[in-house]
Amino acid sequence: MKFAVIVFPGSNCDVDMFHAIKDTLGEEVEYVWHDATNLDEFDGILLPGGFSYGDYLRSGAIARFSNVMNEVIKAAEAGKPVLGVCNGFQILLEAGLLPGAMRRNENLKFMCRPVELRVENTTSMFTSEYQAGEVITIPIAHGEGNYYCDAETLTRLKENNQIAFSYHGTNPNGSIEDIAGITNEKGNVLGMMPHPERAVEALLGSADGMKLFQSIVKNWRLAAHVVTS
């Protein structure tokens, strides 16, 4: 499987994502600059964390208009897995690939520490290797991770089983319903504030993020087998 790590001016977690895919997962991966106009050669798209365009206006608001986002949208519409982590999640929200919006943390402070997540949905291509209700440890590093949506959208997220992860025990940012990550209705786009790419080896303090990337590869290969059979 071949992944693209999208790099925007101000991305700072692209190397972490690249390492997780190449050195830990053992899959093919390339950095792709924000002005790229074709992602057809890639099977999966990864939008890393950071401060794209300095987070001016709003986090992700300028990156959403980068040339590459037209291709990210096309990839999502084609059913390819698209993962946005932290700033990547914010960009997916701004691009309309996921519903809702991101606000400043409730305490108005930047937070960087491990948190516990509860796996809420194991039917998506990102979470199938987890157990339902499994509690995992993944680090956060954000100042604007307070996810918000209106009541109608929240009802729809619940009805469609689109809440992938929720904060367990303590909600660090005030996110509505403790939401830490959501998918689109098709289940091939995931946005999450915690950083699974920083939790792929015990040396990093947790390897709980590895199952997310393994889920992507497993489901992509299953889908590829069905298509070619």
Q: Sketch out the chain's domains with CATH numbers.
A: 2-228 (3.40.50.880)
Percent of the chain with pLDDT over 70: 98
Report the pLDDT averaged over residues 70-92: 98
Give the pTM.
Answer: 0.96
Annotation marks residue 152 as catalytic: no
CA-CA distance, 172 to 85, in Å (whole number)? 16
Query: What is the bridge-based pairing of β-strands 135-142 and 111-119?
Result: antiparallel
Render pLDDT for 82-122 as a digit per residue (tens, 0 to 9).
999 999 999 999 999 999 999 999 999 999 999 999 999 99
Residue of 86, 94, 129, 144 marked active site: 86
pLDDT at 227 (0 to 100): 60
Dihedral of CA atoms 144, 164, 131, 105 in degrees, nearest 10, equals 20
Annotation marks residue 94 as catalytic: no
pLDDT at 223 (0 to 100): 86
pLDDT at 228 (0 to 100): 56
CA-CA distance, 72 to 44, in Å (whole number)? 10
Coil, strand or helix: which one is 33? strand
Report the pLDDT averaged over residues 135-152: 98
**Which positions ≥6 away from 79 have C-beta within 8 Å?**
186, 188
Annotation marks residue 197 as catalytic: yes
pLDDT at 139 (0 to 100): 98
Model confidence at 196: pLDDT above 60: yes
Burial status of residue 97 (CB atoms within 10 A of its CB: 0-12, 13-18, 19 or more)? buried
Tokens of 14: 């692209």
